Amino acid sequence: MSDNRPIGVFDSGIGGITVLKALRARMPHENLVYLGDMARLPYGTKSAETVTAYSLQTTKHLLTHDVKMIVIACNTASSVALAPLQKALAPLPVIGVIEPGADAAVKATKTGHIAVIATEATVRVGAYVRAIHARAPDAHVLQEPCALFVTLAEEGWLSGDVVEAAAHRYLDPLFNRKNAPDTLVLGCTHFPALAKTIRKVAGRGVRLVDSAETTARAVEDALDIQGLATKRKTRGKTKFLATDSAERFARVGGIFFGEVIRPKDVEIVDLQFG
């Protein structure tokens, strides 16, 4: 059987398009629907209760598109809303970015010293620390909230002196030390867009774990296991939804996606009123 229903993907804004890009590259025949909650970003500075409420509203709208799976392309939402969403939407599969990222980090490290850069909310709840220690109890995990990286990525500032200065501010305390981490988890879906600068500042010997790539692999495996993968051979369609700022979504989102997104192709939706 072939299940041609789309995969629903959501984020607080544009950063989750790095996950969308990875999904498109890994599963070119699947239909995808992406919803960016531009009107209420960032999620990373909000309470767990607020993020969970926003996530439930977002997924409720995605359900109107007859999705076969929900992908939480947001580390903050994954860290606090994954379990509530899985409970509310069962038996619909819901996949976040934390678990795949933690699994990849444990497999990548040679020394057991791992650093995680993320939003304030993801660091505060310790989602990656718990997930990594569940797999490797003796791992030594350092965390650093990097809120400015989100702003830079959302503005399309992906390289240059300002981005490099911010990277030094965040990363130097992590890597200019004894027993420095050999693995760095990009614990926010915005951060892969800044990977070139992050790699330069962290050092060439540091392994970067891209939550977008690891999540795409987890989604592909889940589709195969549950018999939800499409069998068609034509390229899948990608639909873009946003709660505000179609022009900005298209401009910056196109940089993240690696393809032109036209403002007219971004549908503005109101989550409060369906």
Given the residues 23, 67, 188, 223, select the one marked as catalytic: 188
d(Cα 175, Cα 171) in Å, to the nearest integer? 6
Of 192, 193, 268, give the one whose Cα is nearest residue 37: 268
145: left (phi over 0), alpha (psi -120 to 50) or beta: beta
What is the amino acid identity at position 115?
Answer: A
Given the residues 33, 41, 62, 74, select the one marked as catalytic: 74
Cα angle at 228 between 225 and 233, to 5 degrees? 115
Structure tokens at 44: 């990373």
Residue 205 CB contacts under 8 Å (≥ 6 apart), including other chains: 182
- Catalytic residue check, 188: yes
- Catalytic residue check, 74: yes
Residues across the chain: 274
Active site residues: 74, 188
